[in-house]
Amino acid sequence: MQDVSVYILAGGKSSRMGEDKALKMLGGKPMLHYVLDAIQELMLPVYLLTNHKEHHVFHLPMIADCLADRGAAGGIDAMLQHSTTTRNIILCCDMPYVDAGSVQTLLSLTRHHDITVPLNRNLPEPLFGVYCSSIKDRWRAELVKGENKLSNLFQSFDVNYVSGDDFLQHNPNLFCNFNSLEDLNQFTC
């Protein structure tokens, strides 16, 4: 896997959780560490998309949003503007079940599309995706127009929607994420 970088989105407001999700302790370690542990075997450069200075504790290069208050779309923009590689994997800090094999499979399905994401229950999983750096100017232009909703943004790009069921056969919890304290009660190591 050459010319690929990994970006982990961890800069959100965590309003439903009530505290920083990346730092939230889960099974004895910060939630973000589950993602880091899973992807370390990929041997790829890893960056943290965050506006939180306290994330320096993860010892990763931190990339701040270029455009404020744009949510995940702004994080993807920051990734695309920063990247020096052709393809970029985006993951979210609150997906503790992510695994390297699933990431490798997703990369193998990217082909020549702008974006590759799985469909889970007929809905895209945009924060488990591969985004080509070549779309950075078009992505920024859509944000400047005021569009923040990922499903609307995707309409302007060549998106390769792949079957989420294939991923779930290998890892049934892959797309589980934790947005609230209630969600944390469902976690099993």
What CATH number is associated with residue 40?
3.90.550.10
Mean pLDDT of 154-172: 96
Are 9 and 72 in contact by the 8 Å Cβ rule? The answer is: yes
Mean pLDDT of 161-166: 96
The per-residue b/e assignment along 143-159, b for 16 or more CB within 10 angstroms, e otherwise, is beeebeebeebbeebeb
- Domain membership of residue 122 (yes or no) is yes
User: Rounded mean pLDDT of the chain?
Assistant: 90
pLDDT at 22 over 90: no
Q: What does the alpha-carbon distance between residue 125 and residue 123 come to, in Å, rounded to a whole number?
A: 7
Find tokens 């985006």 and name the residue: 90
pLDDT at 61 over 90: yes
Minimal CA–CA distance to 177: which of 123, 131, 133? 123
- Domain membership of residue 189 (yes or no) is no
Question: Tell me, what's the pLDDT at 26?
Answer: 83
pLDDT at 28 over 70: yes
- Domain membership of residue 44 (yes or no) is yes
- Domain membership of residue 88 (yes or no) is yes
Q: For 5-14, 48-57, 76-85, 96-105, which range has the lowest pLDDT when averaged over its residues?
A: 5-14
For 135, the token pair is: 């779309």
What domain range is 102 assigned to?
A: 4-184
Question: Tell me, what's the pLDDT at 95?
Answer: 92
pLDDT 10s digits, 83-142: 999 999 999 999 999 999 999 999 999 989 999 999 999 999 999 999 999 999 999 999
Mean pLDDT of 142-171: 95
The enclosing H or E element of 144 equals helix 136-144
pTM reported for the whole predicted model: 0.91
- Domain membership of residue 89 (yes or no) is yes
- Domain membership of residue 63 (yes or no) is yes
Question: Tell me, what's the pLDDT at 15?
Answer: 46
Give how many domains the chain has, as a whole number.
1
